[in-house]
A and B are shown apart, each in its own frame.
Chain A
Amino acid sequence: MLQVGLEHFLFVSAILFSLGIYGIVTRKNAVMVLMGVELVLNAANINFVAFSKFGNFGINGQVIALFVIVLAAAEAAIALAIVLNVYKTFVNINVDEINKLRD
């Protein structure tokens, strides 16, 4: 019988991370980019929890996962505020058109 082991978790988290990165890189819309970031963070969370279960780190992994969820919430709040301000300034929120950093 197929035992669900660490590799499966890591595999899922790797796919999730890759999708997140893909989202960050390819999406035009800043909101979609933020969603990609959430995917990346959650991929990290899966890793933490998986290592907590299969490694001998004790409860630490799960605690850090909780921290990351809180952090993600805070990040989302701030990032959305930034997106709102970006919208106010540039009238759209397409990240490929906001290239003021170049100047």
Chain B
Amino acid sequence: MSENLLIQLSVTILFLPLLGFFAVIFLNKKIPNMYKFELGVISLTFIATLLVLYGKLSGYIDETIIGTFNWIDFGKVPVLGSVTIELGVKLDNVAVIMLFTVNLISMLVHYYSVAYMKDDIRYNLYFAYLGIFTFSMLGIVITHNLLMMYIFWELVGLSSYLLIGFWFEKDSAADAGKKAFLVNRVGDIGMFIGILILYTNYHTFTFDEIFAQIQNGVIPFGSSGWLTAAGILVFMGAVGKSAQFPLHVWLPDAMEGPTPVSALIHAATMVAAGVYLVARIFAMLTADAMVFIAVVGAITSFVAATIAITQNDIKKVLAYSTVSQLGYMVMSLGVGAYAFAFFHLVTHAFFKACLFLGSGSVIQAMHHEQDIREMGGLRKKLPITYVTFLISTLAISGIPLTSGFLSKDGILAGTLAFGDLTGHWLIPAIGFTVALLTAFYMFRLVILTFHGKPRNKEKYDHAHESPKLMTVPLIVLSTLSIFIFYTPNPLSPDAGWFLGEWISTPQTVVPQSSAFEFMNDGTTGTSNEIIHSQIYEDAMHHAHYPAMFLSLALAGLGIFLAFVFYQWKKISADKFAESIKPIYQFSLNKWYVDEIYHYTVISGTLAFSKILHWFDAYIVDGIVNGSAALTRLISRISGLIDTYIVDGLVNFTALFSGFMGLSLRRLQTGKVQTYIVFVIFSVFVLLWVFNSI
């Protein structure tokens, strides 16, 4: 396949779902079952994606294919010089693998939804929304510049909003949609400022051109502090979209949307866009920015994991687990383990989508019961769901032979290496703690849902396995959670094609003084074979086995504890919770983050808007009303002048003329004799006048 063909195919992939969206949204009233068109479109997109994936990885494995065109040519602009906005497609291995991941999960979710959403009143519209979501997400994946990234970034925000609030008849769903949108705005504004800083200095939005200029020693406003700021500000976008602490609050609420949507958008793809963004700008991150990112990721993963332990809603547990895993990926990028972060993104996308779709299957079987305290014993009723759910749980817990083990182990090794090289030992400590917590809460979820005795007999009796349309996606996704798709050696991902051949860490471009020493040891390769710092690779290699044993031990401990508490009931979970009540409450109430926001940001905003309202009502309206009253007064005076002075003058003239006319009319008698008298009288007058002169 030629490069051009790949570019054209990827653009086709981008626009096909948009076509589906428009077709469905405009024609669904006229043509019945319009959703089938969207299904066809997404299948076609997936086939095209397979072609691109094959073409890229077989023919251009070490090359980056870029296709651009000029979108807007502003010509000469004062200050900036000639300004041209360029759009383009960048196909590197990361992009095509992401393309595959997004489209595969999107397609599976489409088919799954056919069964899951069966009786919904806005059935066709749902598929239209899925179409525009897929379009927006693909735009983020294949773009080669920050501007287009930002545009599609907002578009996924929009589709996420539409789908979270899809059942807007429920107040909680409508509120959750609004919350997601508003919280995301907070992050997006930071991202926007970051993009503007970069554009002001480099006059381009394109990643590669920005990196090239940084490498040539051009840094924003001549200070590496600004470079750090730009990195952190762009990362703000990821904080919002990838639900990092402290903007993670929207994601658990987003579970108000339909479950397949949670699987596609709020677990596998859109929330990973933040991680993808950080991966895209990875080369320009300074050491300070990376530490910041690592710390944010670590805090997020820890906070979310501690919350997930006590939640009782099956989707809430998975939501917090997603937040925690996203924190893992971000932390991994922060510590420099780029390849493993992306690897975890992909593996997590598959197993978390599987978990969510599995939970959807459970929820439907239980007639829309989401509380795990009402479940139990479902493994006999839902065997396929149980097995796929278990495989994915093993993967997320990091048990060998699964994909999750490979990626998670890599991330932990990365944090260990980072701690070793920089002395930030807190980050690996949190990483391993989270590994323990993850295993614990995931198995708690599995045991409470599928094991033991049914706690709600009535609902249990009515439960039944989901139709094939729903179980086949589960099987596909859980199969992809097995190691063999990524590497032949189940213990070491480095030997595999995914990390060995496809994904390599980009060399950092920031000046030596502001980069980590270990990231910048001068072993820069040519652009085709970018070599990551050897010191870091070595450190990671050393950390590999300790990390593996430690994480395995912790995961095992977590699973053991989960069995002790919930399966064998050696220790009563309730009594234990009672004995550590303050901590339990703290976790159950999600660290009171929502409450803190309620009493600070939200009430602050409300108070501020009240002040503004007062200002509006009394000052602004006062000025307006005052000027209106003044105008009225002036017009009244001018009216009086008009009526009495101007009109008075005119009327007086008329009256006077009339009076004179009336008076003088008497003289016009029409009698000749009178006139003669006048003539004679006049003659006398004239005589008298001329005489006196």
Residues of A near any B CB (own CB < 8 A): 21, 24-26, 33, 95-96, 98-103
Contacts and interface: CB of A to CB of B under 8 A. Distances in A.
Nearest to B680: A21
B32 interface: no
Contacts of B669: 99, 102
B668 interface: yes
Contacts of A25: 673, 676-677
B670 A101 contact: yes
Contact of B670 (A24, A26, A103): A103
With most chain A CB atoms within 10 A of its CB, the pick from B669, B672, B677, B680 is B672
A33 B674 CA distance: 13
B673 A99 contact: no
Interface in B656-675: 668-673
Nearest to A21: B680
Contacts of A102: 668-671
B671 A24 contact: no
17 contacts: A24-B676, A25-B673, A25-B676, A25-B677, A33-B673, A95-B671, A95-B672, A96-B671, A98-B671, A99-B669, A99-B670, A99-B671, A101-B672, A102-B668, A102-B670, A102-B671, A103-B670
Contacts of B673: 24-26, 33, 95-96
Contacts of B670: 99-103
Nearest to A97: B671
Nearest to A101: B670
Contacts, number: 27
A100 B668 CA distance: 11
Contacts of A100: 670
Contacts of A96: 671, 673
Contacts of B671: 95-96, 98-99, 101-102
A21 B671 CA distance: 15
A95 B673 CA distance: 8
Contacts of A101: 670-672
A61 B69 CA distance: 120
A25 B674 CA distance: 7
Contacts of A103: 670
A2 B672 CA distance: 42
A25 B669 CA distance: 14
Interface in B637-691: 668-673, 676-677, 680
Nearest to A103: B670
A21 B677 CA distance: 9
Contacts of B680: 21
Interface string B148-186: 000000000000000000000000000000000000000
Contacts of B677: 25
Contacts of B676: 21, 24-25
Nearest to B665: A102
A5 B672 CA distance: 37
B673 to A, nearest CB: 5
Nearest to A100: B670
A9 B282 CA distance: 140
Given A25-B677, A98-B671, 18 more contacts: A21-B676, A21-B680, A25-B673, A25-B676, A26-B673, A33-B673, A95-B671, A95-B673, A96-B671, A96-B673, A99-B670, A99-B671, A100-B670, A102-B668, A102-B669, A102-B670, A102-B671, A103-B670
A33 B668 CA distance: 20
A26 B672 CA distance: 11
A99 B680 CA distance: 20
A99 B670 CA distance: 4
B670 to A, nearest CB: 3
A6 to B, nearest CB: 21
Contacts of A98: 671
Nearest to A24: B676
Contacts of A21: 676, 680
Contacts of A95: 671-673
A81 to B, nearest CB: 17
Contacts of A24: 673, 676
B676 to A, nearest CB: 6
Nearest to B673: A25
A77 B671 CA distance: 22
Contacts of A33: 673
A33 B669 CA distance: 18
A103 to B, nearest CB: 7
A99 B669 CA distance: 7
A99 to B, nearest CB: 3
A26 B673 CA distance: 8
A21 B683 CA distance: 13
A53 B670 CA distance: 42
Nearest to A26: B673
A96 B680 CA distance: 18
A20 B125 CA distance: 118
A102 to B, nearest CB: 3
A95 B671 CA distance: 7
Nearest to A99: B670
